[in-house]
Amino acid sequence: MHKKTLAQLSAALQAKEISSVELTQEFLARAKQFNEQTNAYITITEDLALQQAKEADARIAAGNTQALTGIPLAHKDIFCTDGIKTSCGSKMLDSFIAPYNATVIEKFNAAGAICLGKANMDEFAMGSSNENSFYGVVKNPWDLNCVPGGSSGGSAAVVAARMAAAATGTDTGGSIRQPASFCGISGIKPTYGRVSRYGMIAYASSLDQGGPMAQSAEDLAMMLEVMAGFDPKDSTSAQKDVPQYSAAMNDSLEGVKIGLPKEYFGEGLDAEVATVVETAIEEYKKLGVEFAEVSLPNTHLSVPAYYVVAPAECSSNLSRFDGARFGHRCEDPKDLEDMYKRSRGEGFGEEVTRRILVGTYALSAGYYDAYYLKAQKTRRLISDDFKKAFADVDLILGPTAPTTAFGIGSKTDDPISMYLSDIYTIAVNLAGIPAMSIPAGMAGGKPVGLQLIGNYFDEAKLLNAAHKYQQVTDWHQQMPEGF
């Protein structure tokens, strides 16, 4: 059953071909079997999962079900989960037991979904490789010597190895799409404000967005219908109705116009990755899609703008972790200043410390105008680039990442090289628009992701385009050997 999609599992549960308890036990067994190899889970919540599965079976028996009732999922360990450790991949929160549920968790609980556990991640979502976790490196199921991408690398690895039917992730600068690309799964970053951030531990508040990760676009549509929607607890939540995404999945692509940004196909793009993307473009042409070249001239500024805006916001958000109210506190502090310094010094890892320092510097007196204000102006230029492009095309297509998954440790001594692995994803977060990654082929035995970008709240168009592609290809059905 672990190879089936969410739609297939849902149908099997409704037809009583399998119970939720049996399905949950199968995924729990796989989680335990493969977690030692992948390190994808921080916490496996077996007791909670089996209790929820029994309740789901009762709901199914009573005919009180939704599409995801009884289906086992994993949640990125950034979503507060009542009574369960919510660590954000950090020593700072290693002992933190969340006293409430994030809105996303509440929505899945209400839908009758099962929580198998909390997926590993880069500390406080800061990273592109999942090497920054306090709980150790997550390994890519396609090649255990390679990274799964980050920061949602645990969620991506869990889905790729079928240790859960699907998973939640968050995307601040590509952290759903890049791991989806590296691990050969599908993932979507919705429009900023489409999914509530309440109870999702903040990294960069104007960029963070939760979203689903799964085998297929059809699975993503099912999950997004549950996750999305206005939340009065989140002041940045969009007051817009949630469409039935799955209803438009089979719309024809005849006459749909997709833009190809010339900036995404130049220097820095691996030749084998480029070939996979070009092959995908030919498949889309067979489906009736028209292509046109577009320009996003400020793409080259997205990485420097992001690495001012995001650290500035993280330095503010993470100031709450001071040892006073919750989280790690140092032993026997001499005074308040000593407690602050040592608690933060001991609790935060190297990458988080680096970004706090950069952000604090950018916001300091005399540097705010030179760095932070300029980065925000650059952000507007990047957003305007997309607006101009979408005046002529329906969607934008390109590679998700410039390479396939790289070796563990190969970029840890070169932060700039690591940051550039997000070159094609970061601009989307700065603009606040939706984008997704779907599997499109292999290069050197490792998956390659195809990125589709849409205009504000055009998730339905993205899912439709992805689904039609997946109906004529089988890359999303491929599984890593040994799993």
Q: Among residues 19, 128, 133, 151, which one is catalytic?
A: 151
289 vs 281: CA distance, rounded Å:
9
Question: Phi and psi dihedrals of 397, rounded to 5?
Answer: -130, 145
Terminal Cα-to-Cα distance of the chain (whole angstroms): 13
3-state DSSP call for residue 235? coil
Per the residue annotation, which of 76, 107, 139, 468 is the catalytic one?
76
Catalytic residue check, 76: yes
Options 20, 133, 152, 175, the catalytic residue: 175
What distance in Å separates the CA atoms of residue 366 and residue 200, rounded to the nearest whole number? 32
Q: Answer for the pair 273, 448: CB distance below 8 angstroms, yes or no.
A: yes
DSSP codes, 341-409: HHHHHHHS-HHHHHHHHHHHHHHSTTTIIIIIIHHHHHHHHHHHHHHHHHTT-SEEEEESSSSSPPBTT
Query: What's 204's DSSP letter?
Result: S
How far is residue 215's CA from residue 325's CA, in Å, rounded to a whole number? 40
CB 43 within 8 A of CB 118: yes
The single residue listed with the structure tokens 């199914």 is 60
Distance set, CA 395 to CA 127, 171, 294 (Å): 28, 20, 11
How do beta strands 210-214 and 257-261 pair? unpaired
List residues with catalytic annotation: 76, 151, 175
